[in-house]
């Protein structure tokens, strides 16, 4: 039996001969020289694997949050109960991490702010803060994510093969052009030979809006308001109160302040609820902005309005008289609908203007009434999508709807917020896990340094960048707080051309804001050791949060 171990009887009198044969057949013990050679060989093997095939990196900063975490702390909001990550500077001395503690934190779900007093409670007390707004204990820092990188995919001959070399929307590691030694990690958005322009937060390639891959799109949907965490009160510091409100004075909608929302209207006509954020008015549509909990709230970081959103809910229709439950959202003057009919149909509709007739884009079969359905309606990158139970069942085409560069510029100038609503008619229904997400918004702000120097962005609206052969354009997912291609990877006042590239730049062979092909290291693909946590309240971060080990998309 090959590779196995069998037992059998032996004839009497053969024990001594068998013992001698066994002793002579035993392999000789390796000498210390041979053992050392084996260890060195194994070490060299690991070194080659690490250097050329699977390099290992640690994320130091939050420029790729929420996809990847640098040094951070995890905090739970006392107002809504949501847990979120806060960016952290890596302390020079781990025995005194409080010196690098963020002064303020802000919940991404309800905008409730809290402040740390750095051991001087009177300073915050005199500002009229309530007890819940003061962090009584310092947050506990965790280290950055540790990742694997495909180190060979960008080398010849693999770089020229489809699916192996650099591809748009991949998260990649590269040597930053400012010095040629420091490794950065960003998302690849521009390829050689392309014209790149960021308009109204979206990516336009060669004057056409460019959708993300399904994997990148899932990574770049940021939770904006999760109704599983309804806030207890409005944020005093921001004047922000996210909630769902009924638009009619007498409405069959109930439990809007709780996690599970009900509609009891078998005899009721169409009635809507709307997402609102103004504490003083329920009639105004809620604002959606590119707020990152990871960034410390600062007055100079003004959030941008976002109109690419995703609305989803688990819908269970328990009784009906020919009715429906419907999700809807807007982009500029356009309104989009996803209607779940009690008769077993999913209807996708479009309205080009508030007074225009609805146009039916698709009618799809839905599960029978009574089975809960996870329904999602989204608009991103000029495409309307409907998902049912996690699977995309509809995508709009350019013939049905398209955003051109001129239309995107008009939208950028109007600052029209999306109107997000849920409607129902002649049904009894229960809605759970109502969630609003927002797409990444690539900002075009001028960065100002401490000395007053400015960095004007590249590749943004009105200032497109034309990539030449062997040039790539890369951006951070944490767009308001990312030192990326828009700013030539340089701080205000810093030269974006390192010593190793100055001669090439003088010859016109290097363009600021791009990364040359020979500076690309590889594609990040797995977080193998996520966010180490400290064992003690003050001590090095050693315990990994293994629940966050994941593929990088």
Separation between Cα atoms, residue 203 and residue 474, nearest integer Å: 12
Separation between Cα atoms, residue 167 and residue 525, nearest integer Å: 13
pLDDT tens-place string over residues 439-495: 999 999 887 766 667 778 999 999 999 999 999 999 999 999 999 999 999 988 888
pLDDT band of 8, cuts 50, 70, 90: very low
For the cut 50, the answer to whether the pLDDT of residue 9 exceeds it is no
Separation between Cα atoms, residue 462 and residue 457, nearest integer Å: 10
pLDDT tens-place string over residues 479-514: 999 999 999 999 888 888 999 999 999 999 999 999
CB 478 within 8 A of CB 85: no
The dihedral through the CA atoms of 512, 441, 545, 232 has a sign that is positive
| More confident call, 452 vs 380 | 380
* Number of separate helices (H) and strands (E) present in the chain: 6, 34
For the cut 50, the answer to whether the pLDDT of residue 2 exceeds it is no
- Residue 402 token pair: 């398209």
Q: Please report, rounded to a whole number, the percentage of residues in the chain having pLDDT higher than 70.
A: 81
The DSSP-derived string for 329-374 is EEETTEEEEEEEETTSEEEEEEESSTTSPPEEEEEEE-PPTTS-EE
3-state class (DSSP) for residue 479: helix
Q: Which helix (H) or strand (E) holds 434?
A: strand 421-439
pLDDT of residue 304: 93
332, with CB counted inside 10 A (0-12, 13-18, 19+), is middle
pLDDT of residue 134: 85
Mean pLDDT of 132-142: 84
Separation between Cα atoms, residue 505 and residue 517, nearest integer Å: 15
pLDDT tens-place string over residues 397-416: 999 999 999 999 999 998 78
Mean pLDDT of 346-375: 90
Among 283, 282, 328, 323, residue whose Cα is nearest residue 422: 328
3-state class (DSSP) for residue 440: coil
pLDDT tens-place string over residues 165-188: 889 999 999 999 999 999 999 999
Decide which of 2.170.8.10, 1.20.1250.20, 3.40.50.620, 2.10.109.10 is the CATH code for 146-216+443-528: 2.10.109.10
Beta strands in 200-308, from DSSP E residues, in sequence order: 202-205, 208-209, 221-226, 243-246, 253-254, 261-265, 271-276
pLDDT tens-place string over residues 25-62: 444 555 555 555 555 554 554 555 555 556 778 898 89
> In whole angstroms, what separates CA 57 from the centre of its chain?
19
Separation between Cα atoms, residue 70 and residue 141, nearest integer Å: 10
The 8 Å CB, 24+ separation contacts for 202-211 are 202/308, 202/381, 202/382, 202/403, 202/408, 202/442, 203/381, 203/442, 204/405, 204/408, 207/405, 209/381, 209/382, 209/402, 209/403, 209/404, 209/405, 209/408, 210/168, 210/381, 211/380, 211/381, 211/382, 211/383
Separation between Cα atoms, residue 349 and residue 361, nearest integer Å: 5
pLDDT of residue 31: 59
Query: Which neighbouring-strand residues pair with 348?
Result: 338, 362
State the average pLDDT for the chain: 85
> In whole angstroms, what separates CA 543 from the centre of its chain?
24
| More confident call, 283 vs 84 | 84
16, with CB counted inside 10 A (0-12, 13-18, 19+), is exposed
Separation between Cα atoms, residue 291 and residue 218, nearest integer Å: 18
Q: String of b and e for 520-543 (b: at least 16 CB within 10 Å)?
A: bbbbbbebebbbbbbeeeeeebee
Alpha helices in 402-469 (DSSP H): 405-414
pLDDT tens-place string over residues 181-224: 999 999 999 999 999 999 999 999 999 999 999 999 999 999 99
Distances (CA, A) of 361 to 198, 325, 340, 510, 514: 29, 17, 14, 47, 41
pLDDT tens-place string over residues 83-123: 999 998 654 444 444 457 888 999 999 999 998 877 665 56
Decide which of 2.60.120.560, 3.30.43.10, 2.40.50.100, 3.40.50.410 is the CATH code for 221-439: 2.60.120.560
- So where are the chain's domains? 82-87+95-140, 146-216+443-528, 221-439
Separation between Cα atoms, residue 347 and residue 232, nearest integer Å: 36
pTM tops 0.85: yes
């Amino acid at each position: 039996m090959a590779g196995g171990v069998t037992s059998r009887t032996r004839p009497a009198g053969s024990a001594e001969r068998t013992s001698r044969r066994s002793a002579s057949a035993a392999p000789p013990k390796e000498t210390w020289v041979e053992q050392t050679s084996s260890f060195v060989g194994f070490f060299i093997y690991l070194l080659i694997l690490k250097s050329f095939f699977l390099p290992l990196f640690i994320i130091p900063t939050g420029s790729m949050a929420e996809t990847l975490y640098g040094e951070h702390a995890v905090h739970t909001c006392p107002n809504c109960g949501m847990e979120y990550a806060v960016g952290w500077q890596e302390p020079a001395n781990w025995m005194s991490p409080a010196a690098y503690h963020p002064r303020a934190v802000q919940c991404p779900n309800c905008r409730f702010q809290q402040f740390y007093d750095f051991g001087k409670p009177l300073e915050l007390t005199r500002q009229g803060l309530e007890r819940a707004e003061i962090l009584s204990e310092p947050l506990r820092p965790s280290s950055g994510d540790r990742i694997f990188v495909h180190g060979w995919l960008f080398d010849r001959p693999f770089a020229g093969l489809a699916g192996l070399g650099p591809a748009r929307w991949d998260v990649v590691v590269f040597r930053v052009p400012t010095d040629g030694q420091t490794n950065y990690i960003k998302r690849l958005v521009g390829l050689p030979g392309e014209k790149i322009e960021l308009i109204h937060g979206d990516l336009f390639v060669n004057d056409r809006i460019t959708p993300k891959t399904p994997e990148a799109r899932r990574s770049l949907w940021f939770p904006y308001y999760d109704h599983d965490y309804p806030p207890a009160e409005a944020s005093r510091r921001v004047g922000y109160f996210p909630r769902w409100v009924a638009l009619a004075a007498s409405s069959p909608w109930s439990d809007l302040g709780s996690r599970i929302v009900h509609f009891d209207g078998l005899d009721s006509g169409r009635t809507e609820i709307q997402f609102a954020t103004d504490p003083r008015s329920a009639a105004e549509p809620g604002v959606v902005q590119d707020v990152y909990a990871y960034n410390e709230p600062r007055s100079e970081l003004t959030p941008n309005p976002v109109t690419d959103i995703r609305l989803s809910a688990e819908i269970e229709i328990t009784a009906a008289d020919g009715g429906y439950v419907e999700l809807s959202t807007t982009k500029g003057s356009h309104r989009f609908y996803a209607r779940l009919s009690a008769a077993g149909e999913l209807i996708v509709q479009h309205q080009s203007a508030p007074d225009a007739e609805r146009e039916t884009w698709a009618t799809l079969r839905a599960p029978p009434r009574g089975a809960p359905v996870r329904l999602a309606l989204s608009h991103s990158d000029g495409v309307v999508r409907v998902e049912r139970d996690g699977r995309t069942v509809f995508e709009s085409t350019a013939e049905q709807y398209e955003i051109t560069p001129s239309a995107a510029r008009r939208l950028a100038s109007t600052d029209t917020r999306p109107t997000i609503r849920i409607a129902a008619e002649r049904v009894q229904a229960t809605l759970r896990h109502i969630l609003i997400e927002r797409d990444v918004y690539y900002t075009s702000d001028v960065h100002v340094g401490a000395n007053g120097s400015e960095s004007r962005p590249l590749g943004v609206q009105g200032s497109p960048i034309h990539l030449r052969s062997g040039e790539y354009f890369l951006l951070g997912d944490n767009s308001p707080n990312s030192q990326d291609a828009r700013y030539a990877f340089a701080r205000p006042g810093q030269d974006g051309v390192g010593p190793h590239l100055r001669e090439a730049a003088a010859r016109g062979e290097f363009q600021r804001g791009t990364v040359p092909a020979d500076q690309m290291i590889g594609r990040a693909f797995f977080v193998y050791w996520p966010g180490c946590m400290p064992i003690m309240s003050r001590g090095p971060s050693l315990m990994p949060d293994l629940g966050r080990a994941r593929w990088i998309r």
